[in-house]
Amino acid sequence: MGTWFDESRLDDSSALAAADLRLRTLAESGARVRREAGEAATALSEGVERAQEMARPRAVIAAGPDSRLLRAVLEPSCPVPFVAWPGPALPGWAGSLDLVIVLAPDGSDTGTASAVAEAVRRGCQVVVACPPTSMVAEHAAGRYSTVLPVATHDQLATAVVMLDFLDRVHLGPEADPDRVAEALDEVAISCSPHRDLAVNPAKMLAIALADANPVVWGGSVLAARAARRVAESIRRASGRGALSGDVEQVIPVLEAARQRDVFDDPFSDTPAELRPVLVVLEDGSEDAVVREQRGRLLAAASSRGVRVETVSTEASTDVARYASLLLSGTYAAEYLRVGLVEE
């Protein structure tokens, strides 16, 4: 049994109602960021005051499985050495001169709790964003520890709380939660299920993805991470392959595509080969390397007749741009799920 894409479902109230929970969860992304920022405000102020009384850390260590998101944000701008350490421990050299930061949206991961306990034992400065009554919070208790309470189990909202702390202590880029929330709200409005597909960028992108194998690319570090997350969402929503990677990984996929044949019969009973479609996540980076790579990708796509779709954002900070691109791509994946029906 195969599937086909019915684009009329994207404006069908009953089909959209069946996906209401998932779409509503996406629409509430900005509200979750505001809620987490509000819940953590007091603890965050206390943590910033404590950090300002201490010397700048020798290094920042992001521990736990969610450390890669922090690495994507901090590596380009952190003024001290930065290490992402996703395992259930810490680097052997970590000690009292270092800051250990941890994202634990649900607070129940035993490996993360072990890493936090090890950081406390070694006398590190510790800042953990997690539910205040969780196992991770219990292991974080210590003289130099700060728990930033979170409640929504949302990885992005939890990360914004931590990044706001790092911004305030001059260890990370600007991460104003209000700006992130505003960027997410703007995406939710433009991609709302109540906007018909003629003026809805996420629905239009879903239609472009429906008969293709998506190849998602982002040039900057954060856009590249958003590309990986968007590709994961497309795979979950459709059960189809969706790739993401750097330019050296993506170009061979584009160059291997069969040239489009204008004489192909669109009404043939033989299933058509799914061609790639290049989805470019554009965060406005003016880095020379990113521009050069983008040019190479577009040239490769043009040479093989591969369609290119661009998702862009005008958000004002790096974190807000990342959040905007991620949410836009995730909306498209959900609309792809809505439109796919079994034969």
In the chain, what are the domain boundaries? 3-19+193-342, 30-175
Q: Is it the case that residue 250 has pLDDT exceeding 90? A: yes
What is the tens place of the pLDDT at every residue in 206-221?
A: 999 998 999 999 999 9
Topology match between the domains 3-19+193-342 and 30-175: yes
At residue 87, does pLDDT exceed 90?
no
Whether 177 shows a pLDDT value over 70: the answer reads: yes
What CATH number matches the domain at 3-19+193-342, 3.40.50.10490, 3.90.470.20, 3.40.109.10, 1.10.10.60? 3.40.50.10490
The average pLDDT across 8-28 equals: 95
Report the pLDDT value the prediction gives residue 26, as an integer from 0 to 100. 97
* pLDDT above 80: residue 232: yes
| pLDDT, average across residues 50-78 | 90
pLDDT at 266 over 60: no
pLDDT at residue 265 tops 70:
no
| Average pLDDT of the chain to the nearest whole number | 92
Confidence at 333, pLDDT banded by 50, 70, 90: very high
pLDDT at position 76, please? 83
Burial of 128 per CB tally in 10 Å (0-12, 13-18, 19+): buried
Q: What is the C-alpha separation between 71 and 167, in angstroms, rounded?
A: 14
The pLDDT score that the predictor gives to residue 263 is 52
Mean pLDDT along residues 81-97: 91
CA distance 37 to 178: 9
Percent of all residues in the chain with a pLDDT value above 90, rounded to a whole number? 83
Q: Which residues contact 329 (CB under 8 A, 6 or more apart)?
A: 205, 216, 226, 227, 229, 230, 233, 234, 279, 281, 311
The C-alpha atoms of residue 150 and residue 104 are separated, in whole angstroms, by 9
Q: Which residue has the tokens 């800051």?
A: 99
Partners of 214 in the β-ladder: 277
pTM, two decimal places: 0.92
pLDDT at residue 242 greater than cutoff 70: yes
Over residues 293-319, the pLDDT tens digits come to 999 999 999 999 999 999 999 998 999
Indicate whether 132 pLDDT > 70: yes
Q: Which fold has domain 30-175?
A: Rossmann fold (3.40.50)
- The predicted pLDDT at position 253 comes to 93
**Mean per-residue pLDDT for 45-54?**
92
Give CA–CA dist 65/79, Å, rounded: 23
| Residue 269 pLDDT | 47
Reference 165, options 150, 152, 151; nearest CA is 150
Q: Alpha-carbon Rg of the chain, whole angstroms?
A: 22
Confidence of residue 257 (pLDDT cuts 50, 70, 90): confident
Integer angstrom CA distances of residue 62 from 81, 84, 119: 11, 5, 11
pLDDT above 60 (res 292): yes
| Residue 272 pLDDT exceeds 70 | no
Mean predicted confidence (pLDDT) in 264-282: 71
Task: Name beta bridge partners: 84.
Answer: 62
List the structure tokens of 57.
Answer: 């850390």
